[in-house]
Structure 1
Amino acid sequence: MPPHRSSVPHPSTWSARIMTTMNAATTWDATLGQLQMVVTRANYDTWLRDTIGLRHEDGRFVIGAQSAFATEWLTTRLRPLITKTLAGVLGHGIDVAFEVSQPAGMEPPVLLSEPDGAAEGDRPAGARSVAPPQLNAALTFDAFVVGDENRLAFEAARRVVAEPGALNPLTIFAAPGLGKTHLLQAIGHAAYAAGRSVIYASAERFGNDFVRALKDGLDHFRRRYRGADVLLIDDIQFFEGRDGFEKEFFHTFNDLHAQGKQIVVTTDRAPAALTGLTEAMRTRLQWGLVADVQRPAFDTRLAILRAKARRHAVRLPESALEMIAERCCPTVRELEGSLNRVLAFVPLIGGAVTRETIDRALSPLVPLSQREAEPPCPNDIIAAVCRHLGVQLADLRGRSRNRDVSYARHLAMYVLKEDGRKTVAEIGRTLGHRDHSTVLAGIQRIALEQTTRPETRADLGAVRAALDRSSSSAAAAG
């Protein structure tokens, strides 16, 4: 009997069918899903997120951007990468072109201060004479999917809109791609709708604006940033090692805080671990509330996929979304990229979406090392920590506050998160049903100590080496 062959077309046959099965918008959505995993978040958010696939004709794919400047930047900086990625989606070579295609009704970004005489009718009801902040219209509270991993940050974000100054500053930290920028911009949308002046900028944008202001005069720059009711700064870790930028932001922070104006910042790690900033700046970032966003667990991943799938013309069955959610995408951005890629395959398979077709669609996105390596299981991590530090398992999971036991517990929390890929909620349940804040404090302690305390680095290395040996032995036995 001849071997069974999949009904999914071989990639070499895709080009014969792609023109009739995928429209330009769907093709470009799939391409964006891959591009967002290979370009920096700043470049993706600034230049790619709002682009659209316009048409695909005569071997030429036309992409719409929102301004002539954007089309020029994409042509000179990203065209080779876009051409290569798009060809991979289509299954054949393609020429790429860009043209301006600004959605109807979208206003160009403007600064905080409007010219004298700006029309009152152009502003939201109740708003003062302020221009709208530069925000992505899709990143609102309504579009944010809430789970155990991000609930604290979500509720804190809503509170700073309802009660400005109650949590000041609010510092949200998370690894890239987990939604901290979404929350930051959602705050901006809601605060502006409530009639407040809002400035949103990445830390890099703040720094670039400051450099330009040094040439042209600082008065306008300082009125802009220090005159806002709500200041939102993204990726504040950019200030590490940039003393001039940090000093200017430090004084901006002090001015706004003294006036009771709301400050919200995001960073890729806990403020205490931002060792490239001054102690004074790190301390200020912890004055209000520090909230984290963790990697989404299965239930949250599935909810995110449901929400994002509703925006697409092609519908996937619930079983297909569950199959995608089962693949432990470490970030929301990669999860969305996986969904876009599967959606691009749907017109090609001509039948039911099966696990085989999903695996085939997504396998190129997973590095070989990740396909072969599974994270260590929680029990192995805990056992390795106990053996290395001479602590009993019952003590680790119990309520002992002995200094050595507490240190071992915190080390286990950190390794469970970083190496075991567990969420804060899962770690809390594993280690005696500890609450979110307790687990987070333990993780933050080790994150800081591994950069400042050689003994912690050595203990962490020893535990990881033991896990590696255990994994190698298991693989050899298998």
Structure 2
Amino acid sequence: MTVHRQLTLDLGTPPPSTFDNFFAGTNAELVTRLAELDGALAAGPVTDRTFYVWGEPGSGRSHLLAALIDSAGAHRARFLGPQSALTAFAFDARVPIYAIDDCDKFSGAQQIALFNLFNEVRAQPSAALVATGNAAPLALAVREDLRTRLGWGLVFHLAPLPDERKAAVLKHAAKERGIALAEDVPAYLLTHFRRDMPSLMALLDALDRFSLEQKRAVTLPLLRTMLAQPAAEDPAQRGAGQAPAAPVGRFK
């Protein structure tokens, strides 16, 4: 029976998003280019310096941008998203890499700021820009001049993982956390819950904490025990007066 119960999750501090813990699948060329981008920029002028990456929610867009920043270092890469102030879009010659997430959600003013930043980056041979969105450039709901600019560089469709690869991701993530995950748990999660990676990773993190509280191995019976608890007994709700943290979309 499919479980419809909505868990409220306190994710704590997940492992950082890196290129090493991103399962590339058919996206190997994109991952390789991004992993080598900072080193290439440091070595000299780079021909391909603007990227637009699109894919459905859960395909790994945000993970790749976080991995890019982790690889280059915060002093060489700047993250920009829908919550960023307009002043953050100012070009800085000391920052060679700009990672732009969810540009389809930008305000009109932010779209203008991104358009100007894109032009600045294109004019600087030692700078690069990687933007992500929810649709291909032609279908992106942004102003026409920005849509055209995003389509100028390399465009990659971030293909979603098939279920068997998602199971491998869950097993790898469990190993990173030191969890001894029973073999039947990933398959159960994939057939009884939302199959996007942020939701699956959130469930894994909640199950990890629950197993520590119960001092039991992470097995299918333990998962069912956790799901059978009333909402008030969810691990995130046990601290009186503590608001649960929002799920972190590491694989968006």
Q: So what's the TM-score if we normalise by structure 1? A: 0.40
Aligned to 2:79: 200
CA contact (8 A) 1:174 1:269 kept: yes
Structure 1, gaps ≥5 residues long: 1-32, 37-47, 52-136, 211-220, 365-478
> Is 1:303 the equivalent of 2:181?
no
Pick one of 167, 178, 184 that aligns with 2:59: 178
Is 1:341 aligned to 2:182, yes or no? Answer: no
Q: Does 1:143 align with 2:9?
A: no
Unaligned runs of 5+ in 2: 1-6, 230-252
Give the superposition deviation at 1:335: 0.9
Match of 1:143, SS?
coil
1:227-266 to structure 2, matched below 5 A, reads 227-239=94-106, 242-260=107-125, 261-266=127-132
The one of 137, 144, 148 equivalent to 1:283 is 148
Cross-structure match for 1:76: none
After TM superposition, the score normalised by the length of structure 2 is 0.71
Alignment of 1:188 with 2:69, yes or no, is: yes
Contact 1:204 1:238 in 2 (8 A): no
Distance 1:264 1:49, change over 3 A: farther
Contact 1:296 1:330 in 2 (8 A): no
Q: Please give the residue correspondences for 1:266-277 in structure 2 after superposition, counting only pairs within 5 Å.
A: 266-275=132-141, 277=142
Q: How many residues align?
A: 218
Q: CA deviation at 1:161?
A: 3.4
Distance (whole Å) between structure 2 residues aligned to residue 291 and residue 328 of structure 1: 28
Contact 2:18 2:63 in 1 (8 A): yes
Alpha-carbon separation, structure 2, partners of 1:344 and 1:246:
40
Aligned with 2:180: secondary structure? Answer: coil
Q: Secondary structure at the match of 1:200?
A: strand
Q: Which has the higher contact order (CA 8 A, sep 6+)?
A: 2
Structure 2 match to 1:385:
none
Higher helix share: 1
In 2, Cα distance between equivalents of 1:289 and 1:166:
11
Match of 2:250 in 1: none
Q: 1:222 aligns with which of 78, 87, 90?
A: 90
Whether contact under 8 Å (1:160, 1:167) holds in the other structure is no
Q: How far did residue 236 of structure 1 move?
A: 0.9
Larger radius of gyration: 1
The CA distance in 1 between the partners of 2:12 and 2:215, in whole Å, is 27
4+ runs deviating over 6 angstroms:
none
Which structure 2 residues correspond to residues 42-191 of structure 1 after superposition, within 5 A? 50=13, 138-148=16-26, 150-164=27-41, 165-191=46-72
- CA-atom RMSD, angstroms? 3.3
Give, in whole Å, the separation in 2 of the partners of 1:312 and 1:351. 13
The secondary structure found in structure 2 opposite 1:310 is helix
The residue identity in structure 1 corresponding to 2:90 is: R
1:289 Cα shift? 1.5
Cα 1:166/1:328, change in 2 over 3 Å: farther
Mapped contact 1:34–1:337 kept (Cα < 8 A): no
In structure 2, the CA distance between the partners of 1:301 and 1:223, relative to structure 1 (3 Å rule), is closer
| CA apart distance, 1:349 | 8.9
